[in-house]
Structure 1
Amino acid sequence: MEEGSIVLGIDVGTSSVKAVLLEPTSGDVVESETRDTKAGLESESGTQVKEQDVGRIISVLNDCLTALPREKLQKVSRIGVSGQMHGIVFWRTNQGCHWVNSGNLRVFEPREVSQLITWEDGRCSTDFLSSLPSPRSHLNIASGFGCATIFWYLKNRPDFFRQYNTAGTIQDYVVSMLCGLQRPLMSVQNAASWGYFNTRSKTWNIDILQEWGFPVSLLPDILDAGCIAGKTSYDWCGIPQGTEVGVALGDFQCAVYSSAAESTDAVLNISTSAQLTFSMPAGFQPEDHPSPAEAVTYFPYFKDQYLAVAASLNGGNVFVSFVTMLAQWMTELGFETSDSNIYSKVINAALFVNETQFTICPTLFGERHAPDCLASVSNMTSTGLSLGHVTRALCRGIIENLHAMLPSHRLKESGIKRIIGSGNALARNAVLKQEVERIFPFPVVYGKDVDSAVGAAMLMVKQ
């Protein structure tokens, strides 16, 4: 890497896009920009469809880049890209975007592209998933996984495929457009998150899928995480044409890469969802046929290693739902206040409540290993119904749910010495922090926040 060059890291997240400029020698972030995408689309009432507007996401991505200093963008020599896993977007090869001038900069805009069906999508019911063939993989299939979504369209809207001839995650789409790829390339990390992918052979379950009429031509070609996918085919927001671009990575793996300094560190991240993870020793291989009820899964990491992951669908999104519910009640009672005001007040109320018998099971969004598990409330008493008690019980429930998935004794057996606490929901919520420290018998370190964009950039420095 040339002296004076800079590495760009991008993360296309569920609710925001982030871009960072990393100085490769020191590893310092010299510039950073984050924008909320607000790309969620309204679905029919009562449906579990979760989709996002790809045009909106790319517009915000372009805005993030143009907000960075032009003189530094001109020094970018490599680009690392990560993004939300499991989800899928469809497009037509060679027609997925067009490049336009925006002011005096060159940007790309989507064309012939579907909506992004996100990892939160719940259109694949338990019955539908059980009707699908068993994958030859150590990972089970779930709603929101790319291959499950393709199977759903195959059964319910087969004409959908006439519009498109390829597919990928949203971050794969970005890399394909930047490099003008004839066929999309996908890292082992993102492929594993779609289902029907064998991480040992690093191949799709082509024979199984073809037998069931699956359109295998949609599936991207595979590269190891960390490989270069191509070079930018145009100047982009001031970044020179011909800049190397890494194959798109999973946001989760990049987040862990940015923060876990030692093999004895576990990373607890609570943002929209929640994850607790640690790296398995070199040489570890997961079983090919896990139990569907197993709460811990193994995600491919880097250099053929795996992360043990308790990935809960219930994290900060549960607390947001709680605040939204209170706001709706206030409106119905004739009082108007902001969600942010409610948020601060319920946190403050809970800080004065150290103990509560009130118990909340917070699985409002189910869990992948238990999709039909619903939220519940128990042990209610007339003396424990204050706002502080309810908020404390909810925060405790979120952490206890994660602890039930990956308990302390299992962390100890794996040699874990401390927990790195991170994520927006955890950073903003002092009660959640208290519950983490109460439930997990390890030192908890904050302030070394996970950052997928930084992780994506760091990996490109080391290639």
Structure 2
Amino acid sequence: MSSYILGLDLGTTSVKAVLLERKSRAVIASQSLPSASDVADCSGLQAKEQDTIRIIDCLNRCIGLLPRDKLQHVDRIGVSGQMHGVLFWKAKSGCDWSSGNFFTAHDTSRLITWQDGRCSNKFLSSLPKPDSHLSVATGFGCATIFWYIKHRPEFLKDFTVAGTIHDYVVSMLCGLETCLMTPQNAASWGFYNTSTCLWNVDILKAAGFPLHLLPQCVPSAELAGQTCSDWHGIPAGTPVGAALGDFQCAVYSCLSAQTDAVLNISTSAQLTFAMPADFRPPDSPQPDSSTTFFPYFGSSYLAVAASLNGGNVLAAFVDTLAGWMKEFGVEVSEESLYEKMIGCALKQESSDLRVSPTILGERHDPFSLGQVTNISASNLSLGHVTRALCRGVVDNLTSMMPAERLRRAGVSRIVGSGSALARNQVLRQEVERAFMQSVIYGQNADSAVGVALVFCDRLGSAEDSCPERMPI
């Protein structure tokens, strides 16, 4: 009889669930639903929060759409999700299983997401320097907790546990009274040393950080526990993996060789490749560097150029065009505008117009703004502008991680992925012009599939015991 792994991804805008058949490693069922969980910001703080109850409701609905006869034969659950963010809850009462074979969120805060902007540069500069190769930015869990210590300390008194949204799901499924966190998520919080696998306890303690909110760390791709109750037909006692980062899982789903690099252009854009097994990151943050090193599996790392400007820049241009049309009294759908501008750009095979699309800045250069240069009377058509904008998105990414660096690292092939690349032929053309390596498509990065593959490949039988807990 076939057995299955349930892979879950709690993304920024949607929740996805897949069933992976263990023997064939094939996805036999998949469901995705928009979470519609954003909470309007009335604070004026550039806060980005989401309703936890809606996210968990979406998760339950998503799994409920999978074939129940196969859910009954799930023998492993893997969970990934949006990194950096933080959720607070109360131990022993963080959810309610009374409704039957699914849980609902209870006694939790809202999820403060990775997009949260309440930590200004001035505030961040007031924080202690981390003992880590990774800088701390707004939206990072530890930075957000520091913000609450200074501005709303009474808020933290209501909670005893903190973690990411996917850490919370694992904790609730397993009935844990604490949060177990992998290095992939801990590194995304800040103040975590990936070489020693330890939080910066002394630094945080000296700064008045509530150490009881630091999760307990376990190795990536290890088990966190077992389901404490039947869940949508999945039997109680099913092993559950400690939650993993959505970026690492997305890469895992399509990085098939050491000589591959993965280029993902969706809302934002990332270019990444695996570092050699003996690589060790710098001892301290390199805030001006456009390349960072994310922990992967074991002691390995990914070299990552993570741009804040990707498909969202093209979406902003479409939104601008729609706004102009509306001012002229013409209503045109954004989908129609997008198709039209891509069609015009396909007819315009090249352009001498230059667009720097960094309208959202970059983490290594937060004050960078977009620019349009080399303007002439002959290159302001929709085709010229769209072509130049697509090239600008790619050029910005290759300026962060040049093709020559990929060549020196032994990368011989680019795996192209992401919704923006999938729907935009002009963007694909510019990618193929920008890289000396061959570019392939069709292996779409998928965090839900990736986390299922991780626990298919990296763990043995369903009877595996839980790992020893690593000290804080």
- Runs of 4 or more, structure 1, over 6 Å off, are none
**CA–CA distance in 1 between the matches of 2:274 and 2:75?**
30
Residue equivalent to 2:227? 232
**CA–CA distance in 2 between the matches of 1:47 and 1:338?**
32
Moved more, 39-48 or 179-188: 39-48
Asked whether 1:404 is paired with 2:402, we answer no
Asked whether 1:327 is paired with 2:322, we answer yes
Match 1:81 to one of 76, 79, 82: 79
- Checking the alignment, whether the CA contact within 8 Å between 1:254 and 1:451 is kept in structure 2 is yes
Asked whether 1:306 is paired with 2:304, we answer no
**RMSD over aligned Cα, in angstroms?**
1.4
**CA–CA distance in 1 between the matches of 2:335 and 2:40?**
23
**CA–CA distance in 2 between the matches of 1:220 and 1:269?**
30
Give, in angstroms, the shift of residue 46 of structure 1: 6.4
Match 1:346 to one of 341, 345, 349: 341
Residue equivalent to 2:22? 24
Residue equivalent to 1:59? 57
Give the secondary-structure state (helix, strand or coil) at the position aligned to 2:145: helix
What amino acid sits opposite 1:396 in the alignment?
R
- Checking the alignment, whether the CA contact within 8 Å between 1:232 and 1:243 is kept in structure 2 is yes
What amino acid sits opposite 1:244 in the alignment?
P
Asked whether 1:167 is paired with 2:165, we answer no
- Cα displacement string for residues 352-398 of structure 1 (whole angstroms, at most 9, x for unaligned residues): 11222222221222211111222222222222211222211211111
What amino acid sits opposite 1:39 in the alignment?
S
Give the secondary-structure state (helix, strand or coil) at the position aligned to 1:245: strand
Give, in angstroms, the shift of residue 19 of structure 1: 0.6
What amino acid sits opposite 2:332 in the alignment?
T
Residue equivalent to 1:212? 207
Residue equivalent to 1:254? 249
Residue equivalent to 1:198? 193
**CA–CA distance in 2 between the matches of 1:209 and 1:420?**
40
- Checking the alignment, whether the CA contact within 8 Å between 2:322 and 2:333 is kept in structure 1 is yes
**CA–CA distance in 2 between the matches of 1:260 and 1:154?**
40
Match 1:132 to one of 127, 137, 147: 127
- Checking the alignment, whether the CA contact within 8 Å between 1:314 and 1:364 is kept in structure 2 is yes
What amino acid sits opposite 1:134 in the alignment?
K
Residue equivalent to 2:95? 97
**CA–CA distance in 2 between the matches of 1:236 and 1:292?**
44
**CA–CA distance in 2 between the matches of 1:133 and 1:411?**
34
- Checking the alignment, whether the CA contact within 8 Å between 2:87 and 2:109 is kept in structure 1 is yes
- Checking the alignment, whether the CA contact within 8 Å between 1:126 and 1:371 is kept in structure 2 is no
**CA–CA distance in 1 between the matches of 2:82 and 2:257?**
25
What amino acid sits opposite 2:145 in the alignment?
I
Listed as ranges, the gaps of 5+ residues in structure 2 are 460-472
Asked whether 1:122 is paired with 2:117, we answer yes
What amino acid sits opposite 2:19 in the alignment?
L
Residue equivalent to 2:463? none
**CA–CA distance in 1 between the matches of 2:154 and 2:368?**
33
Give the secondary-structure state (helix, strand or coil) at the position aligned to 2:101: strand
**CA–CA distance in 2 between the matches of 1:55 and 1:386?**
47
- TM-score, normalising length: structure 1: 0.96
Superposition map of 1:1-16 within 5 A: 4-16=2-14
Moved more, 31-40 or 375-384: 375-384
What amino acid sits opposite 1:305 in the alignment?
S
**CA–CA distance in 1 between the matches of 2:87 and 2:317?**
30
Asked whether 1:49 is paired with 2:44, we answer no
- Cα displacement string for residues 216-264 of structure 1 (whole angstroms, at most 9, x for unaligned residues): 1111100100100011111111111111100000011111111111100
Residue equivalent to 2:108? 113
Asked whether 1:276 is paired with 2:274, we answer no
Give, in angstroms, the shift of residue 45 of structure 1: 8.6
What amino acid sits opposite 2:5 in the alignment?
V
The aligned length equals 458
- TM-score, normalising length: structure 2: 0.94
Give, in angstroms, the shift of residue 325 of structure 1: 2.1
Listed as ranges, the gaps of 5+ residues in structure 1 are none
Q: Percent identity?
A: 57
Match 1:447 to one of 413, 426, 442: 442
Residue equivalent to 2:171? 176
Give the secondary-structure state (helix, strand or coil) at the position aligned to 1:259: coil
